Structure 1
Amino acid sequence: MDGLLALAISWFVLVGIVYLLNRSAVRYFLAIYWKSERLVRYVEAFTRRLSFVPLRAYLVVALTLFAVPVFVAIPFVRPDGQVQILWGFLYMLVGGTLNALGALFRGAPPEEAAARSAGVTPIIPGVTLPWDQLPYMAVAVAVGVVLHELMHGYAALRYGIPVRSVGVFSLFYILSGAFVEPDEEQFKKANTEAKLAVLASGVAVNVVVALSAMLLGVAGAWAGLQGAVFGVPAYGVQPGDRVIGIHGCGLQDAVYTPDDLLTKLNVLAGLGPLMGINKTVNCKPGDKVTLVAASWLHRYEVTLDYTSFTTPPRINWLYTDGSLYLGGVRPGDVVTKIEGCGRTWETPTSGQLLSAVIETRAVCRAGDSVRVYVERNGTLHVFNVTLVEKGGKIFYGLGPGSLPMIGYDAGPIKRDQLYNTDFTKLVFWLIVVNYGLAVLNALPIYPLDGGQLLAAAIQRRLGEKRGNAVVSAVTWVLAAMLIFNIALGVLGEQYRILQSIR
C-alpha cells in the first residue's frame, strides 16, 4: 500500500504541474490530454537534424525492423551476453492458438492449454501487475510511445506530409501515450513508399529501443548494477545489499537476478540436474564459498563453508512409476544411504543423494536391486528397491522439486525475500514494453500500423474494394486469435509470472 500511496502522490504532483502550465489539459485530475500545434516545431526540428539520412536507405531499414519481430525472429541478449532467439510473434500466435485449441478439445484444463498458447498477458496494474512495478513500466511506456510517435512524425515530414498536431495523454499512468497527427488528406494522397515509411517507423524504433535495452543490461551487468537484493539478513549479507557474484567449488560466476542467484546456489548444492542444468560442482568437506556483495558505498566478500549451501536428503514428492516409490519410499522420507551393485553411497545431503542416483545408472542395470536406507518419523527403514527403466535409463522417479531446493524449500532466505535492482527492473520493462509495442503494432490487424501497412500494399495490387476485403478478413482472424490467447492467459493465470517480479 505504501507503493500505491507514493504512486498516487506522484500523480497528483504531475497533474498539478500540468494544470499550472495548461489548465485545459487536465481532466478531473484523473487524466491528462495535452494536444498542441506548437509542439509540432519540436518534431520539425528533430526532422531537420536527421534530414541527412537517405530516404531509400531509411525505408529499407524501417521495413526490415518492422518485419523482424512479427514475421521472422529477433535476438534476445541475456545480461551474461548469451544470445537466444525469439521467433516471429505471428508464428507464436498462430501456432499457440492451434496448440491451445487442441489441448482444450482433448479435455485439458485452462492452465495446461494456456501453457501451450502464445503467452499473451494483459497488463492491468493491481490485478496482473504488482503496483510497485508500475513506475518502471510507466517510464518504459513513456519512452516507447513517445519515440514511436516521434518517428511517425519524422517519416511523414521527410516525405512531405504535414503534421497537424502533437499530443500526450495519460489516465493515472495506466493508459499513457503520445500521438502525432499527420494531415489525413495528404497522407491518403501520398504514394505507397511514403505510406510504408510512415507506418513502419514507429515499430522500427521500438525494436531498436528493445535491442538497445538488452545491450544496456549487458553493460550494467558488467558494471555490477544488477544482482540479487536481499530483503533480510542472510549468508552474512545485509538487507538492501545485493549479491553480484559467487565463487567456490569450481563455480566462478556473476549474479544478475534473484532467480539467477538461486539457480547457482542450487547448482552449488549439487541439484543442477533436477533443474535441467548439466553443470556440476565438486564440493568437499572444508571447501569454502565466497559471495561477492555490494552496497551503494562499497563491495565486500562473505566467505562461508560449502555446507551453508546444502539441503537435507528429504523426499518432497516422487513419480509413482519410479523405482523409489515402487520400492516403498514415500514423500517425507529422508534417504541416508544407498547400497547395491558392489557400491555404497552415503547421502548426508540432497546433492549427494542425487549424485548417488546418477552414479548408480553407470554401474547398475534395470532389474538390479539396491538397498535404500531411509528415516521415517524417527525410525530407520531399509527397502529393497528393484530398479525400473524408462526411456532407456534407470528411472528413480525424481523430478524438479523432488528434493529440497535452496530458496524454495530450505535455506536461510526465501525467493520472495530477494529483489531485483532498480536498474534491472527498468531494463526489463524497457525490453518488455518496447517488444510488446513492436509486435502488437506490427500485426496485420486494422487499424494498427501493420493493418494499415497491409492495406496500403494490398490495395495497390488488388484495388481498394478487394484490398479492403482481404484486410478485413485477416484482421478478424488475427484479432480473434489475439483475444483468445489473452482470455486463455487470464483463465490460465499466466499473469502470475508478472506478479512474481520483485
Structure 2
Amino acid sequence: MDAVIWFILSWLALVGVLYIFKKDAVKYFVAIYWKSEKLVKYVVLFTEKLRFIPLKVYLVSVLVLFALPLFLAMPLIRPDGQLSSLPGFLYILVGGTVNAMRMLLGGAPVQEAAAGSAGVTPIVPGLTLPWDQLPYLAVAIAVAVVLHELMHGYAALRYGIPVKSVGVFSLFYVLSGAFVEPDEDQFKKASTEAKAAVLASGVAANVVIAIIAMLIGVFGAWAGLGGAVFGTSAYGIHPGDRVIEIRGCGFVERVYTPDDFVTKINVLAGLGPLLGINETISCKPGDKVTLVAYSWFHKYEVQVDYSNFTTPSQLRWLYTDGSLYQGGVRPGDVIKRVEGCGVARDITSSGDFLAFVLESKRICKAGDAVKVYVERNGTIHVFNVTLVEKDGRLFYGIGPTSFPLLGYDYGPVKREQLYNTDFTKLIFWLLVVNYGLAAINALPIYPLDGGQLLAAVAQRKLGEKKGAAVVNVVTWVLAAMLIFNIALGLIGEQYRVLEAIR
C-alpha cells in the first residue's frame, strides 16, 4: 500500500509543478499532453550534430537493427559476460501461437498452454507489475520513447521531410510516450527509401539502447553494483546489505542477482545436479565459506561454517521408474549410507548422496546392485537397489525436487527475502522496455512502424489497392495472434515472471 501512496503522490507533485508552468498541458490532473513547435529546434540541432553520417550507411544500419529483434536474433549479454540470443520475435509469436493452440486442442490446462505460448505480457502496474518497480519502469520508458521518437525526427530531417511539432503524453505514468510529428503530406510524397529510414529508426534506436544497457550491466556487475540484497538477517549478513561473492572449498564465484546467489549456494551444497549443473564441491564438515558483502560503501567478509550450506538427505519426491523407487526406497526416507561398485559412504547431507550418484555413474553399469541404508519412521531399513538405465544412462529416479533446495525449501534465507540492487532493476527495465518496444513496433501490424513499412513496400510493388489488401490481411492475422498470446498469458499468470526482479 505504501508503494501505491507514493505512486499517487509523485504523480500529483509532477502534474502540480507542470500545472504552474504550463496549465493547458495538464488534463484533469490524470493526464499530461504537451505539444510544442518550439521543441523542434532541438531535433534540428541534434540532426545537425550527426549530419556527417552518410545516408546509405545510415539506411543499411537501421534496417539491419530493425530486422534484428523481429527476423534475426536479439543478442542477450548476461551480467557475467556470457552471450546468448533470443530468436526473432515474429518466430516466437507465430510458433508460440501454434504451440499453445495445439496444446489447448489436445486438452492441456490453460497454465500449461500459456507456458508454451509466446509469453507476451502487458505491463500494468498493480496487476502484472509490482508497484515498487514503477520508478525504474518510468525511467526506462522515458529513455526508450524519447530516443525512439528523436531518431524518427532525425531520419525525417535527413531526408528533407519537415518536422511540425514535438510532444509528450502520459496517463498516470502507465500509458506514456513522446512523439515527433513530421509533415504528413511531405512524408507521403517521400521515396520508399526515405520512408524506410524514418520508420525503421525508432526500432533501431531501441535495439541500440537495449544492447548498451546490457553492456553497462556487465560493467556494473564487474564493478560490484550487482549482488543479492538481504531483506532479513541470515548467514551473518545484515538486512539491506548485499552479497557480491562466495568463496570456499575451491569455490570462488561472483554473485550478480538473487537467483544467482540461490543457484550458487545450492551448487556449493552439492545440489548442482538437481539444477542441471554437474559440478562437484570438495567441502567437508568444519570447512569455512566466506561471503563478501557490501553495506553502502563499506565492504566486509563473513565466515560461515560449511554446515550452513547443506540440506538433509531426506527424499521429498522420486520418479517411480527409477532405480531407487523400484528398489523399495520411498519419499520421506532419510538416506544414511550407500555401498556399491567398490564405494562405501556414510551420507550426512543430500549433497553427499548426489556426489555418490555422480561417482557411481562413472564406475557402475546397469544391473549392478547398490545397498542403500535409509531411516524410515525411526528405523533403519536396507534395500538392495538394482541400477536401471534410461536413455542409455543410469537412472536413479531423482528430479529437481527430490531433495530440499537452499533458498526454497530449506536454509536461513528464502528467495523471496532476497532483492536486486537498484542498478540491476534499472538495467533490467531498460532492457525489457527497449526490447519490448522494438519487437512490438517492428511487427508488420498497421499502424505500427513495421506495418507502415510493409505498406510502403507493398504499395510500391503491388499498387495501392493490392498493397493495402496485403497489409490488412497481415495486420489482422498477427494482431489476432498478439491478442491471443496476451490473453493466454494473463489467464495463465505468465506475468509472475516479472516479480523475479523485485
Q: Give the TM-score category using the shorter length.
A: over 0.9
Q: 1:59-113 deviations in whole A, cap 9, x for unaligned?
A: 1111111111101112111111110011111111111222222222222112222
Deviation at 1:496, TM superposition (A): 1.1
Alignment partner, residue 242 of structure 1:
242
- In 1, Cα distance between the equivalents of 2:133 and 2:382? 51
- In 2, Cα distance between the equivalents of 1:384 and 1:127? 53
Contact kept, 8 Å, 2:291 with 2:302, in 1: the verdict is yes
Alignment partner, residue 327 of structure 1:
327
Alignment partner, residue 130 of structure 2:
130
Query: Which secondary structure does the structure 2 equivalent of 1:399 belong to?
Result: coil
Contact kept, 8 Å, 2:141 with 2:176, in 1: the verdict is yes
Alignment partner, residue 218 of structure 1:
218
Q: 1:391-417 deviations in whole A, cap 9, x for unaligned?
A: 112211111121111101111100011
- In 2, Cα distance between the equivalents of 1:398 and 1:71? 39
Contact kept, 8 Å, 1:347 with 1:356, in 2: the verdict is no
Alignment partner, residue 430 of structure 1:
430
Alignment partner, residue 186 of structure 2:
186
Q: Tell me which amino acid in the other structure corresponds to 2:334.
A: V
Q: Tell me which amino acid in the other structure corresponds to 1:395.
A: F
Alignment partner, residue 409 of structure 2:
409
- In 2, Cα distance between the equivalents of 1:31 and 1:331? 58
1:465-484 equivalent positions in 2, closer than 5 A = 465-484=465-484
The unaligned stretches of length 5 or more in structure 2 are none
Q: Tell me which amino acid in the other structure corresponds to 1:208.
A: V
Alignment partner, residue 361 of structure 2:
361
TM-score, normalising length: structure 2: 0.97
1:40-189 equivalent positions in 2, closer than 5 A = 40-189=40-189
Alignment partner, residue 265 of structure 1:
265
1:438-453 equivalent positions in 2, closer than 5 A = 438-453=438-453
Q: Tell me which amino acid in the other structure corresponds to 1:135.
A: P
Aligned-pair identity (%): 71
Alignment partner, residue 318 of structure 2:
318
Alignment partner, residue 4 of structure 2:
4
Deviation at 1:347, TM superposition (A): 1.0
- In 1, Cα distance between the equivalents of 2:251 and 2:185? 64
Query: Which secondary structure does the structure 2 equivalent of 1:500 belong to?
Result: helix
Deviation at 1:328, TM superposition (A): 2.6
Alignment partner, residue 278 of structure 1:
278
Q: 1:28-82 deviations in whole A, cap 9, x for unaligned?
A: 1111111111121221221122222221211111111111110111211111111
Q: Tell me which amino acid in the other structure corresponds to 1:197.
A: A
Deviation at 1:332, TM superposition (A): 2.0
- In 2, Cα distance between the equivalents of 1:141 and 1:273? 40
Q: Tell me which amino acid in the other structure corresponds to 1:460.
A: R
- In 2, Cα distance between the equivalents of 1:500 and 1:65? 29
Q: Tell me which amino acid in the other structure corresponds to 2:106.
A: R
Alignment partner, residue 500 of structure 1:
500
Alignment partner, residue 293 of structure 1:
293
Deviation at 1:465, TM superposition (A): 0.7
- In 2, Cα distance between the equivalents of 1:434 and 1:345? 53
Q: Tell me which amino acid in the other structure corresponds to 2:67.
A: A
Aligned length: 502
- In 2, Cα distance between the equivalents of 1:280 and 1:199? 53
- In 2, Cα distance between the equivalents of 1:285 and 1:317? 26
- In 2, Cα distance between the equivalents of 1:382 and 1:62? 68
Q: 1:444-481 deviations in whole A, cap 9, x for unaligned?
A: 11110001001111211111111111111111111111
Query: Which secondary structure does the structure 2 equivalent of 1:168 belong to?
Result: strand
TM-score, normalising length: structure 1: 0.97
Alignment partner, residue 305 of structure 1:
305
Q: Tell me which amino acid in the other structure corresponds to 1:436.
A: G
Alignment partner, residue 488 of structure 1:
488
Deviation at 1:288, TM superposition (A): 1.9
- In 2, Cα distance between the equivalents of 1:346 and 1:495? 44
Name which of structure 1's ranges 142-151 and 318-327 shifts more when overlaid on structure 2: 318-327
Q: Tell me which amino acid in the other structure corresponds to 2:311.
A: T
Alignment partner, residue 19 of structure 1:
19
Query: Which secondary structure does the structure 2 equivalent of 1:301 belong to?
Result: strand
Q: Tell me which amino acid in the other structure corresponds to 2:79.
A: P
Query: Which secondary structure does the structure 2 equivalent of 1:74 belong to?
Result: strand
Contact kept, 8 Å, 2:120 with 2:485, in 1: the verdict is yes
- In 1, Cα distance between the equivalents of 2:107 and 2:395? 29
Q: 1:207-253 deviations in whole A, cap 9, x for unaligned?
A: 00000000000010011000000011111111111001111122111
Deviation at 1:360, TM superposition (A): 2.5
- In 2, Cα distance between the equivalents of 1:364 and 1:203? 56
- In 2, Cα distance between the equivalents of 1:218 and 1:325? 45
Alignment partner, residue 255 of structure 1:
255
Q: Tell me which amino acid in the other structure corresponds to 1:73.
A: A
Alignment partner, residue 31 of structure 1:
31
Query: Which secondary structure does the structure 2 equivalent of 1:384 belong to?
Result: strand
Deviation at 1:341, TM superposition (A): 3.4
- In 1, Cα distance between the equivalents of 2:365 and 2:13? 71
Query: Which secondary structure does the structure 1 equivalent of 2:224 belong to?
Result: coil
Deviation at 1:140, TM superposition (A): 0.4
Query: Which secondary structure does the structure 2 equivalent of 1:332 belong to?
Result: coil
Name which of structure 1's ranges 113-122 and 15-24 shifts more when overlaid on structure 2: 113-122
Alignment partner, residue 375 of structure 1:
375
- In 1, Cα distance between the equivalents of 2:243 and 2:308? 16
1:349 aligns with 2:349: yes
Q: Tell me which amino acid in the other structure corresponds to 2:135.
A: P
